Amino acid sequence: DSGVTQTPKHLITATGQRVTLRCSPRSGDLSVYWYQQSLDQGLQFLIQYYNGEERAKGNILERFSAQQFPDLHSELNLSSLELGDSALYFCASSVADYGGGAGEQFFGPGTRLTVL
């Protein structure tokens, strides 16, 4: 158990819908990262927040948005869902936002999103 929690574990929805994935980081970690992992694309970095502020952005679609709240939990919002958005979405947390403290990221169990 990494100490990072994600809900829900599974999510099945239809195209065009909007969903929200939730992540609670390990106690004491200020950085939260979101990743998408699909069979044909590997692990893709989406976005990072540090203490409530956006720190780094990867290949995140405009239909996707995220935020980190004052209690440090984070939400990833996915809208106008398409079939291709079906994937495993991981949240990770780390102590710092750069250096080794950022490298040792602890991953949550993931949310499996299926878009039908």
Partner 1 sequence: GQNIDQPTEMTATEGAIVQINCTYQTSGFNGLFWYQQHAGEAPTFLSYNVLDGLEEKGRFSSFLSRSKGYSYLLLKELQMKDSASYLCAVRGGTNAGKSTFGDGTTLTVKP
From 9, 27, 42, 62, residue interacting with partner 1 (rule: CB under 8 A): 42
What own/partner pairs with CB < 8 Å and gap ≥ 24 does 56-64 have? 60/34
Which one among 48, 68, 74, 93 touches partner 1, defined by CB under 8 A? 48
- Which among 87, 70, 79 is positioned nearest to 34, based on CA atoms? 87
108 scored as a contact of partner 1 (CB under 8 A): yes
User: Nearer Cβ to partner 1, position 75 or 107?
Assistant: 107
Q: What backbone torsions phi and psi does residue 67 show, to the nearest 5 degrees?
A: -155, 160
Residue of 3, 12, 57, 63 interacting with partner 1 (CB under 8 A): 57
- Using CB under 8 A as the criterion, what x/- string covers residues 2-31 for binding partner 1? x-----------------------------
Query: Under the rule (CB under 8 A), what is the footprint of partner 1?
Result: 2, 33, 42-45, 48, 55-58, 90, 92, 97-100, 102-110
